[in-house]
Amino acid sequence: EVLRHIRGMGLHYAEFYSKHLALNASPAKISETLKLLAKAKIKLNAHGVSGFTKNHAANRKVFEFAKRAGIKNITANPTLDSFDSLDKLVAEFGIRIAIHNHGPGSRYDSIKSVQKAVKGHHKYIGACVDTGHFIRSKEDPVKAVRDLGKRVFALHIKDEAKREKRSHNVVIGKGHLDVVGLFKACKKIKFPADGSMSLEYEATPANPIDDMKACVVVAKEALAKAL
């Protein structure tokens, strides 16, 4: 059903999370899922959000999963003591870690907190800019892309009704997100062609499809203006 809706919106890339494809999925399950994706002409280009700690063996299992699934980008919420392990793993596997900002009061709730986390680390340790969470944290997501620059490997694109902790998603461009500005910033930093841009919508979980389709229309119009 998920693939049918993605394909129906004319999209060909997706980020999955554990309920779509579990980190402990068997090789057979991964292979089955990839075959379904290929049949629908959809590429799995990211997975997350995954937690990482200083437990190197546990971290390695996530990277091994990503390698088997052909995933280049892992969106992540790593603890501050995990980076020695992650530096080694991104170098070994050639897979990126994209730190996901989780909104007000979280470990990564500001542009500066993400900048501080990635500073001095391997070039494959960067950011997943969640535009909605930055808006709720009273941060400018367009500025986040510009400031984090070449460290931006992924986006979770959503808009918010309010610049407050308690808010809800709206169709992108209808709240506080400058959609054209966002894509212009991505162009300026030369966002990687194999990075991940994910439209996300959580306001109407019983039936998000109509609003998601509206988001796709806005995104396409903004891309045309930005590029």
In tens, the pLDDT along 136-177 reads 999 999 999 999 999 999 999 999 999 999 999 999 999 999
Structure tokens at 75: 């969106």
Tokens of 29: 């399950």
Give CA–CA dist 126/68, Å, rounded. Answer: 22
**Closest CA relative to residue 76, chosen from 156, 143, 132, 186:** 156
What is the distance between the alpha carbons of residues 41 and 18, in angstroms, rounded to a whole number?
Answer: 21
Backbone angles phi, psi at 92, to 5 degrees: -70, -45
The closest of 163, 172, 226, 222 to 201, measured between CA atoms, is 172
The answer to whether the CB of 118 falls within 8 A of the CB of 82 is: no
Q: What is the pLDDT of residues 60-117, one digit of tens each?
A: 999 999 999 999 999 999 999 999 999 999 999 999 999 999 999 999 999 999 999 9
